[in-house]
Amino acid sequence: MPPLPRALLASLGLALHTLHRAIAPANRIRILYYHSISDAPIRSSVSPQAFEEQMAYLVSHGYRVLSLSEAIDRRIGRGTFPESGVVVTLDDGFQDNYEHALPILMRYKVPATVFLTVGYIGTDRLPTLTRTDFVPRPLDWREVKEMQARGIEFGSHTITHPMLTQVSGDVARREIGDSRRMLEDRLGAPVPFFCYPRGDVNAAVQRIVRDEGYAAACSIEPGLNDGRTDLFRLRRTYVSRRDSISEFGKKMDGAYDLLQRAQMVWRRLRAA
């Protein structure tokens, strides 16, 4: 979208978000999601410099940055998320999450959850992206263990990153359940969280995730989460390589929630 219409829509979205915030529950949390933290030639990458500016922004603007475990424990125990809370998540398991993201997260004392596509960890390629000739490298298990030792959480993103609504129930159950067991065996710790590849989920897939013993699951539906949000369809805010620090601040303020929802509906209508 060109900058001017995008800015006008952001202003409208921020006004509507501010109005909604005045009547909505106060205790809401925003979950951010990233993929590659690098200068790689892919749409879903965020440069290390931009990522550092964004983590510094969260700290300097008084956000309460929590791990996903802390946020969900608060929601289950008290029925609400903490006020001004934010969670940082990264999808797929890019090697640059260790090389570039980890030092920045440690520097700013920001917890994070990485959702691993388990079958590719320790191999030489991570073929989870669409419409690109660039195939990045995944984390290896030594890097995963080091990140775990430094406080990074891990969740499952399946074994091979399929569109779960487009495979059989048996395949979906294996991708969802076996990936968790593989991770728990490797990490020696519970893995309570799941993330739907490309946000592809329906009621049947959601039921499998619940039946396989996960405590919560992340979607790619935009917006904030409150005490009424389905724990198995947690909303997340996508951070793009195009986001300046000003645009990032607008996203944190909710300016693009409405726009992102509209874009998602439009894509679904076009695909129908």
CB-based burial of residue 218 (10 Å sphere; 0-12 exposed, 13-18 middle, 19+ buried)?
A: buried
pLDDT tier at 22, thresholds 50, 70, 90? very low
pTM for this structure? 0.89
How far is the C-alpha of 200 from the C-alpha of 66, rounded, in Å? 26
> Is the pLDDT at 160 greater than 70, yes or no?
yes
> Is the pLDDT at 20 greater than 60, yes or no?
no
> Is the pLDDT at 150 greater than 90, yes or no?
yes
Q: Do 186 and 141 contact (CB within 8 A), yes or no?
A: yes
Asked whether the CA dihedral 226, 201, 141, 35 is positive or negative, the reply is: negative
Residue 214: count other Cβ atoms within 10 Å of its Cβ: 20
What are the start-end ranges of the E strands in 24-181?
Answer: 29-34, 36-37, 45-46, 64-66, 85-92, 113-116, 153-156
Residue 43 has what DSSP assignment? T
How far is the C-alpha of 257 from the C-alpha of 262, rounded, in Å? 9
Paired sense of beta strands 216-218 and 85-92, if any:
unpaired
| Residue 211 CA to its chain's centroid (Å) | 22
Closest CA to 196 of 224, 166, 225: 166
Domains in the chain (CATH in brackets) are 28-271 (3.20.20.370)
| Tens digits of residue pLDDT in 75-112 | 998 888 877 899 999 999 999 999 999 999 999 999 99
How far is the C-alpha of 160 from the C-alpha of 119, rounded, in Å? 6
How far is the C-alpha of 138 from the C-alpha of 124, rounded, in Å? 7
For residues 234-247, give the mean pLDDT.
95
Q: Do 72 and 216 contact (CB within 8 A), yes or no?
A: yes
Residue 112: count other Cβ atoms within 10 Å of its Cβ: 24
Q: Do 138 and 94 contact (CB within 8 A), yes or no?
A: yes
